[in-house]
Structures are given as structure tokens and as C-alpha cells.
Amino acid sequence: MGKPRLIILIRHAQSEGNKNREIHQTVPDHRVKLTPEGWKQAEAAGLKLRSLLRPDDTLHFFTSPYRRTRETTEGILNALTSSNPTPSPFPRHTIKVYEEPRLREQDFGNFQPGSQEMARMWAERAEYGHFFYRIPNGESAADAYDRVSGFNDTLWRSFGEDDFASVCVLVTHGLMTRVFLMKWYHFSVEYFEDLRNVDHCEFVVMKRSRENQKYILQNELRTWSQLRKERTEHKEPESPIPVRKKWGGFQDGDEKEFRRRQARRQNTADLFIDEVNELQQDEQVAVSSESGKTRARRISSDQYTGRYGSNPDLSDPLQRGGAARRKQSPQRLSVPEGGRDGGGSRSGAPSRSGSDTSDDPSRQPVRRSMAMALHGGLEGSSSPHRARADALGDQSEIDDEDAP
């Protein structure tokens, strides 16, 4: 037969998940079944398909393995092959049905979270972009596009088989229908995101042209931008039509939660180094302040030598003060080395507290944990701003007497 004359995509009928989204919190997505209204929609779709076919047509069905799509296919076949109201020219045994996992719904991450978290996720997806946004523990539309691309290649190769049907029916999902069309007709990402979803059991028909053998889309796809334009022209009251936003916005109260989820543990050694840098900066400020206070009272060595001679008379208060100042040197704060464990020396550098083999007890290293180092318990370190190590995740124990 070769290439089919028609390729028909049908979205599944109404499911329980369409009526109550919270069902996805307890029922796996692939096990969600049709509602009674959904069964009626599927049977009506079978009668519609019967009216589109020729008596000599043959059919191949490809369906997603999800329960709602398989039940939709069953409802379509029941009406298509029924003898009511008239005998059907399409016996059930002549119709081939294949389950195709690559036509399954976009993976939303196993059991879905509560409604509040889902609302946050949908708002985030609207801002990030429907095509590239990946559902946590699930898929993005781009991931679905990859597997649909593989299915399209398989389908195209099967067109070369002599026994391929004249009508190919794909029973799938709303997003997968749009992804299939995007791949087939090379839609842009922007146009894909502007497309509105197809209705339950809506037919999207691709008809082969006799002139060039290409498939012409028979439907006029609906877009959000067109709906927005129509409502603006008719001045209808505004309704929640999705509007693309720039990334970075959050719903009220969501930013804090988002940051908490995205927070990463900072390296503890880096935190220790930051404290050391802070001490060094405090030292520089102290030295600078001391220099500013004494600069007005200092006398240069040349002036001092020329005025009082090379040997100052310490009985003279002015000379005694100058000599004392010359003997003084700025006191450097004792800053512990930021070793790998936060309490020792840098790798390959001697500890300022001495070594483990030193005989002088006063030169022995301070045997405290990294928690005490960060807490300000190291010798020569008295910064009151050190965070407790247990707040950083360190498992070192802190004695009660060392707690603030």
C-alpha cells in the first residue's frame, strides 16, 4: 500500500485526572482511567472516524500504553466495528493495534506532590518555558520530543511496507500531539509554546497530497496569542490566559522556599578562611587607626637627630617619648592557619602552635576540633562572630562549657 492517505492523531477522552488532579497524588499516571463521560466521548469518536473512512480503507492503530489511551482506543473500536445502526465495513480482526511506549504522556515524576506545590511548579514552568522546563524527577517537553523523533523515524520507514494500512491512527495525549506536529512540520519552540492544547477526542488530520505526496495539516491550530487578540478586539473580561514572563519572578512567599530548595552546603574550610580574612582586615584597620592618632605627635628621625643629637636624653619627656615610640612595633594579631580540618596548619606549612613532636608544652598544638576553631576557641582567636560548627553540619562534639 505504501504511504497512508491519512494520519489521524486523537487525544484520549476525559479521564479521572482531568476532573480531579489530586488523584495523581495516590494513583500512578499510567493507571488513571476514563470517566463515564470519557467513555461516551470515545464511542462518539469511533462514529466520527467511521464517517471519515472509505469502505476499502484499512487501519493501523498506534496507542500510548497508558490506561486512559487504551480505553479510548477500545471505545473507538467498539463504535467503529459495531453493527449499530448499520453493519460496519471494518471487522475487528482486520484492524491492527500496536502499543507504542514512545507515545506515552510526558513524565511528571511518579506520584505528584500536593496541590500547592503543583501550583508553584506550573507557575515556574510558565515563566521558564513549557518546552525546556523539566519536571522534577520527570521530563521536559524537549525530552518527549526526542522519543517522538525516534517514533517518527520508525513510522516513516514502515510506510515502505506493502501491507501498511491506508489510514494510520495515533491515540495519544495532548502534549504529545503537539510535540508530534512540531517534529513533523518543524515548528519553532516559540510556536510550540504558543499552541493551546487539543480537546478530548479531537481529531488532528494530516492528509497526503496527490501532487507532492506531502502531508497537509487539515486543522487550524489554536494559539494563545490569537485568543488574546480576539478577546482584546471584543473587549471581553480578562481571564487567566498564560502570558510568558521573564525568568526571575516568584509568587508571594515562593522565593524563600525556592532558595531553600536550591541551597547548597558551603565548604567549611572556605568559611574558616573567610573568618581569617576578617581578622586580618580588623588588624589592618587597627594599625591604620593607631598610625593616624600618633602621626601628629611623631618627629622624624632627621629632625630628632638634628635637634637633640644622636643620643637622646631620656630625662627630657619629649625625647623619652620619641625613643619609646621608636622601640614600639605594631602588634600583629595571632591568626590560626586555615588547615584542611580548620584547626591545624596549611598543607606543608608549620603550625604556629608548634608540632606534635615539640618538647615544649607551651608549643604543643591546641587539640580542639574544627567546630572549636570555627567557634572561636583556638588560641589567639576571639572573634565573637564565629558560627557554631554544628550549624554547618560538622559532627564534632562541643562541650557544654564551650557553648555560647
Do residues 197 and 32 lie in contact, with contact meaning Cβ atoms separated by under 8 Å?
no
Classify residue 194 by its DSSP letter. H
Do residues 205 and 11 lie in contact, with contact meaning Cβ atoms separated by under 8 Å?
no
- The strand pair at 215-217 and 59-63 is best described as unpaired
**Grid-cell match 594599625, residue found:** 287
Do residues 343 and 372 lie in contact, with contact meaning Cβ atoms separated by under 8 Å?
yes
d(CA 163, CA 3): 10
* SS3 assignment, position 169: strand
Torsion angle of C-alpha atoms 187, 193, 194, 198, degrees rounded to 10: 90
**Percentages helix, strand, coil for the chain, rounded to the nearest 5?**
45, 10, 45
- Annotation marks residue 60 as catalytic: no
d(CA 349, CA 340): 12
Ramachandran angles phi, psi of 61, nearest 5°: -105, 135
Of the residues 24, 43, 60, 71, which is catalytic? 71
**Environment class of 275 (CB within 10 Å of its CB; exposed 0-12, middle 13-18, buried 19+):** buried
- Annotation marks residue 12 as catalytic: yes
Residue 148's closest CA among 114, 189, 184?
184
Classify residue 343 by its DSSP letter. S
Which residues have CB under 8 Å from 214's CB, separation 6+?
208
Residue 221's closest CA among 190, 181, 183, 186?
181
How far is CA 166 from its chain centroid? Answer: 43
| Sign of the torsion formed by the C-alpha atoms of 149, 154, 160 and 163 | negative
Residue 128's closest CA among 141, 138, 116?
141
Strands of 64-163 (E only): list them: 96-99
Which residues have CB under 8 Å from 152's CB, separation 6+?
180, 183, 184
Do residues 376 and 383 lie in contact, with contact meaning Cβ atoms separated by under 8 Å?
yes
* SS3 assignment, position 78: helix
Active site residues: 12, 71
